[in-house]
Amino acid sequence: MIIGITTTLNEADNFQRVNVEYINRVAETGATPILITPIPGGAEANRELVHEVARLVDGILFTGGGDIHPKHYMDVTMDHVRESLHPEDASRIAPAAAGAYGKPRRAADYESDCVHCPVDDALRNAVDNIESADERIVLDGREVTSRGGAHSIPCLDGLLAVSESRDGLELELARIAYEQDIPALGVCRGMQVLNVALGGTLYRDLRICGITDMEHMQEKPYANACERASVVPGTQLAHILEGHQRGCINSIHHQGVNLLAAPLEVNAWGEDGIVEGIEAPGKGFFLGVQWHPEYLENHAPLFQALADACRA
């Protein structure tokens, strides 16, 4: 049984890498981990590669890392989400269960994706001209290059490790995984990939966009679960983490889910109302979490659940 693990380009030394914790967690399940890396040729070449990859693997682990290019989601509107929903599924726009932390999501909450940066021609032009800057920071345990420093639009001024090739590969791979019911687990960026691939959107920066004042970029050690999340009862995530201190999570991200793709529902909320987990009802295993369970011993059952779904 083979589980493919996506990688991140370490721009400081031009190596494709993945944190060893991901590999270890997959190996602990008895599955064979292999790395899925982008190839030269841009997004189109990587979209073509994905069809071969999908035939080789039994499951996919979408890992953390840099930001998805905003062009892949910024023109999605609430109308697009409504149009893609069946009438009986409209409640998925507001999936927060009673007792969940934070703000219940309502359609009106989603009309603007950023209090400072509405989608307009200025934003579209800026997105089309995102350029590299020289600033390097540590993200998800790796040194990456920030794309910031060149724009007057605040939420574009800190995009991290944007990669056309990685976006092309992972977004197409997530769509195929959903369509073919290939078990998929998304971690941090990986959760965002699952949402964007199926038609959802992201907040480009949670604090700059005015969504939360809470700091979601904790320092090491990442095994320190310093935040709490409310897991929605009855979800697949709740079943997987039952009895495993599921409410304690770590936090290493600056973006988050905004509009939820129509086929998905929220399975966990942060204390500040941020979406911390998503899943696809009716699929065998198509699930994402915003935190990093690879560092948390109590959350190893997530990786076991992925492996079990591959065996089913």
Catalytic residues: 188, 292, 294
Cβ neighbors of 52 (< 8 A, separation 6 or more) are none
* Phi–psi pair at 228, nearest 5 degrees: -120, 150
Residue 28's nearest CA partner among 219, 303, 240 is 303
In contact, 18 and 8? CB cutoff 8 Å: yes
Contact 213, 117 (CB under 8 A): no
Residue 34 Cα distances to 2, 167, 173, 177, angstroms: 7, 19, 15, 17
| Closest C-alpha among 108, 26, 73 to residue 309 | 26
- Residue 221: asked if its preceding bond is cis (omega within 30°), the reply is yes
Helix ranges restricted to H, 8-94: 20-28, 42-56, 78-84
CA-based torsion, 232, 283, 60, 77: positive or negative:
negative
Cα 69 to Cα 130: distance, rounded to the nearest angstrom: 9
CA dist., res. 82 & res. 237, Å (int):
25
Task: List Cα–Cα distances, 220 to 104, 136, 184, 195, 304, in angstroms.
Answer: 31, 18, 27, 27, 25
- Residue tagged 């998304």 (tokens): 186
* Rg of the chain, C-alpha, whole Å: 18
